[in-house]
Amino acid sequence: MADTHDFSERLRNAAPSCDTFAPQPKPRPRIFDAREDQREADRQKRAVYAEVDARDQKRCQCCGRRGNPEALTTLGKIHRAHIRDASRGGALTAGNLVSLCAWCHSLVHAKQLWIVGTDANAGVTFEIHEAAVVEIFGVKQLPAHVHIVLPGAS
């Protein structure tokens, strides 16, 4: 009888307690952290865009066109262009963004319009290829902050 008692006592001591098998809370999925990080980045981006819109008054800083906030396509909206591209280390700050209409922004990407300056808060100027002048400005006089660049001129 003593052997049976010792055996049951040893079994009770060796068996894990019920607390060991209690359900443990699952760790929070990392996808939620990524979503929160994305939401925070979006909030910061909207704040910077609001600052740029207030500074530039939702006007193209090259040709002066006004943006239409109710435009259904990107052609009527004002774009915020990086002075120094993010892929080249440009920050998402108001000083690195300038408001441009769709036409001027497309010319920047086509290498027909160049933003001269490093800080939009301090003011920037533009250099435009002579072939694009009529397309953007027509027969109007060029604004003082836009300069024509002739091909082959260094």
Q: Which pLDDT belongs to residue 3?
A: 58
User: Given this model, what pLDDT does residue 86 score?
Assistant: 86
Within a domain: 137: yes
Residues paired with residue 145 on neighbouring β-strands, in sequence order: none
75 lies in some domain: yes
Which SS3 state, helix, strand or coil, does residue 13 take?
helix
**In-domain check, residue 43:** yes
Sign of CA dihedral 119, 133, 111, 67: positive
Give domain status of residue 17, yes or no: no
d(CA 50, CA 20): 54
Taking the chain (154 residues) in consecutive chunks of 10 residues, what is each chunk's mean pLDDT?
A: 63 60 77 84 94 93 86 87 91 94 92 92 90 74 80 61
pTM of the model: 0.70
In a domain, 61, yes or no: yes
Phi then psi dihedrals of residue 99, to 5 deg = -80, 130
Q: How many separate domains does the chain show?
A: 1
Strand partners, 126: 115, 146
CB 147 within 8 A of CB 62: no
Determine the pLDDT at residue 40. 92
Question: Range of 143's domain?
Answer: 33-149
